[in-house]
């Protein structure tokens, strides 16, 4: 488990370093996750589909099992700042509403776009 945890942390650190040194607009942990996928595929092999049985899978499952604990500090912080949250409640509500609607609209339009592109590709393949 220590080796797998070290691998997780090294990949995240490498991702942070790459993001900052190269000035990439992608967060370091996202780059680290891609690096982790590449490293894991090279170590274990691409043919392995049961990641849960590897050291990395066991470690990741243990971390995900404790994920709920990570939300406790955020919840405590919100409760401590309840007057401030209350003062901006309307703005928070509007921001959540607008972002939710925009997310749904973008998702729907992307789905429609991909569906039409696949249909066009199938029509082109069927015609040849």
Q: Could you tell me if 61 and 7 lie in one domain?
A: yes
Of 23, 38, 65, which residue sits at a domain end?
65
Identify the pLDDT of residue 44.
Answer: 67
pLDDT of the chain, 128 residues: tens digit per residue? 898 889 899 999 999 999 999 998 999 999 999 998 888 877 766 555 667 777 888 888 888 888 888 888 888 998 999 999 999 999 999 999 999 999 999 999 999 999 999 988 877 776 55
Residue 44 and residue 97 in one domain: no
Q: Which two tokens stand for residue 34?
A: 């891609």
Question: What is the dihedral sign for C-alpha 118, 123, 126, 128?
Answer: negative
**Structure-token pair, residue 111:** 């789905």
In this structure, the answer to whether residues 61 and 109 fall within a common structural domain is no
Burial of 55 per CB tally in 10 Å (0-12, 13-18, 19+): middle
pTM attached to this predicted model: 0.53
Domain boundary among 65, 98, 114: 65
Q: Which two tokens stand for residue 13?
A: 């650190």
| pLDDT confidence of residue 76 | 92
């Amino acid at each position: 488990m220590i080796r797998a945890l070290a691998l997780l942390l090294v990949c995240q650190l490498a991702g942070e370093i790459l993001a900052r040194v190269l000035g990439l607009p992608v967060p370091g942990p996202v780059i680290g996750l891609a690096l982790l996928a590449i490293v894991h595929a090279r170590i274990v092999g691409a043919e392995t589909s049961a990641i849960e049985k590897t050291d990395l899978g066991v470690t990741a499952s243990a971390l995900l099992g404790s994920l709920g604990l990570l939300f406790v500090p955020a919840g405590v912080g919100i409760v401590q700042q309840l007057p401030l949250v209350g003062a901006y409640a309307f703005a928070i509500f509007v921001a959540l509403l607008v972002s939710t609607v925009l997310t749904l609209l973008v998702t729907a339009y992307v789905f429609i776009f991909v569906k039409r592109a696949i249909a066009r590709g199938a029509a082109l393949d069927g015609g040849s």
